[in-house]
Amino acid sequence: MGKRHPNPRLVKLHRSYAVEQIARLFDVHKNTVRAWVKQGLQPIDGQRPALFHGPVLVVFLQRRRQSAKQPYPLGHIYCLPCRAPKAPAGNMAEFVPVTDTTGNLRGICPDCDRLIHRRVNQAKIKAIQGNLEITFADAPLRIRGSDDHSVNCDFKGTDYP
């Protein structure tokens, strides 16, 4: 089936859509579109078949997506098992770089004692840090960058028989 949050940019602004057309456009069931009407999507008039202006549909989908967003408080990382943003145990987190500009903030959930992660841009750490103590780990070595070769390789160097 379709996605949880349909992309409003797929809607043509100068077009009117029927329920079936909207369902096909977003790959959702017709009853989903009818449920959107109950949630506030306004048809052009009360006539059948129900038609919807493109701009009205775009605004409805954007508001729906915006209302589903839950911004994290400062210094919090989302814990998937607990399904809530949590401040890591001891207010300590570790930044593990993944690329030159981004990385993962890693901490321990104070309730379930599992690792919690948050992808962040290294330049924006100060903006989301809050009262967290963040330590910076070295970037993990890539396989190609290591001098340790696998025993199963065909490398014929001086260290191997």
Is residue 20 in some structural domain?
A: yes
CB 114 within 8 A of CB 156: no
Is residue 160 in some structural domain?
A: no
Report the percent of the chain where pLDDT is more than 90. Answer: 50
Res 21 pLDDT > 60: yes
37 plus 84 within the same structural domain: no
Res 158 pLDDT > 70: no
81 plus 52 within the same structural domain: no
> Collapsing DSSP states into helix, strand and coil, what is residue 108?
strand
Res 60 pLDDT > 80: yes
Is residue 143 in some structural domain?
A: no
12 plus 61 within the same structural domain: yes
Is residue 142 in some structural domain?
A: no
Cα dihedral 113, 115, 116, 120 in deg (nearest 10): 150
37 plus 61 within the same structural domain: yes
Range of the domain at 83: 77-136
Is residue 85 in some structural domain?
A: yes
Q: How many domains does the chain have?
A: 2
CB atoms within 10 A of CB 119: 9
17 plus 53 within the same structural domain: yes
pLDDT at 154 (0 to 100): 60
Report the percent of the chain where pLDDT is more than 70. Answer: 84
Is residue 114 in some structural domain?
A: yes
The pairing of strands 92-97 and 133-136 is: parallel
pLDDT at 22 (0 to 100): 96
Res 118 pLDDT > 60: yes
Is residue 157 in some structural domain?
A: no
DSSP category for residue 1: -
Is residue 159 in some structural domain?
A: no
57 plus 85 within the same structural domain: no
pLDDT at 6 (0 to 100): 92
The CATH number given to whatever domain includes residue 50 is 1.10.10
pLDDT band at 1 (very low <50, low <70, confident <90, very high): very low
Res 139 pLDDT > 80: no
Burial 124-148 (b: 16+ CB within 10 A, else e): ebeebbeebebeeeeeeeeeeeeee
